[in-house]
Structure 1
């Protein structure tokens, strides 16, 4: 049993270690022993918090999906224009390419949101691992559904705000949000499959062009 007072830190270490392990070995290759090694703790600590591999996988997936919402919420300011809010959202759910391979996965709020990070390459690998498993796993499907429904609601609110303030011309905010999120998911898969747009490296501009169609001058 972990030391009293160490529970939040130990639990966070295990989640971060699980994501790092999945990124390196895949979900099938992730074991409780490997996670314990990555987290620098005993296997007993891992099972104390998460019981078994299935529970650990689900909790790691929840943390992976929640990471993006937390980062977005921390950067969106109510005084921003609607387009600026969308730009912040896209920066995190479809980030620009960057060299951050030296950074370690950290989806824990224990050290503060400014220190939370998932390197771009790890994001791609985790995205592929979790979503490929979710195709056949109802528990993982539920995580995806809840996360994306929350994302759709948040993006639709931004489009609504843009419409109310005259910053955007949007007939149906829900449909606009659905189209943007569907585009992000598809472009994310294209990134994982290494299918870049013709003559450019980054496919983010496709989402940006989509949003520009709703943005008033």
Structure 2
């Protein structure tokens, strides 16, 4: 029986270990034994908290998707313009590439959101692994649907705010949000497949140009 008060910390360690193992070995290669080894505990501890691999995978997927929402919410401030809010959103859901392989996966907010981190290459590998599995797994589909519907709602609210302040010219905020999120998901796949734009730039500029298309000029105001 785990020590009283240790459950949140232990669950967080196991989720981080699971995501690390999925990134390293793939969804099929991730096992409870490997997660236990990486977390420095027995397989029995993993089973105690998550019962089986399916439950562990679902909780790891939730934590992976929640990571982005937590980071965005922590960085968006009420004093920001709609453009600044969208910049924060894009910076987190389509992170500029950097060589940060020395850092470890941490999706737990227990030690503060500022310490939460997923290295760039791990983000891409996890994204593809979870989406590939979700194509045939109804439970993972529900996790993705819940998360992305919340994301769409949040992005649409930013477009609405920009429209009200006159910073953005948006006729249909939900559709604008849908287009942006769909673009991010597609560009994420292209990154993992190592398909750069013809000009060789980081493909996130495509999303930035999409947002700029809604920006009103001073003459329009």
Structure 1 length-normalised TM: 0.99
* Structure 2 partner of 1:133: 133
Q: Report the number of matched residues.
A: 217
Distance (Å, rounded) in 2 between the aligned partners of 1:161 and 1:201: 30
* Structure 2 partner of 1:21: 21
CA RMSD of aligned residues (A): 0.6
Q: Secondary structure at the match of 2:166?
A: coil
1:70 deviates by: 0.2
Alignment of 1:80 onto 2:96? no
1:45 deviates by: 1.0
1:155-194 pair list within 5 angstroms: 155-194=155-194
Gaps of 5+ in 2: none
* Structure 2 partner of 1:121: 121
Structure 2 length-normalised TM: 0.97
1:3 deviates by: 1.1
Runs of 4+ aligned structure 1 residues displaced above 3 Å come to none
Gaps of 5+ in 1: none
Q: Secondary structure at the match of 1:89?
A: helix
1:200 deviates by: 2.0
* Structure 1 partner of 2:92: 92
Distance (Å, rounded) in 2 between the aligned partners of 1:185 and 1:5: 38
Distance (Å, rounded) in 1 between the aligned partners of 2:18 and 2:195: 28
* Structure 2 partner of 1:107: 107
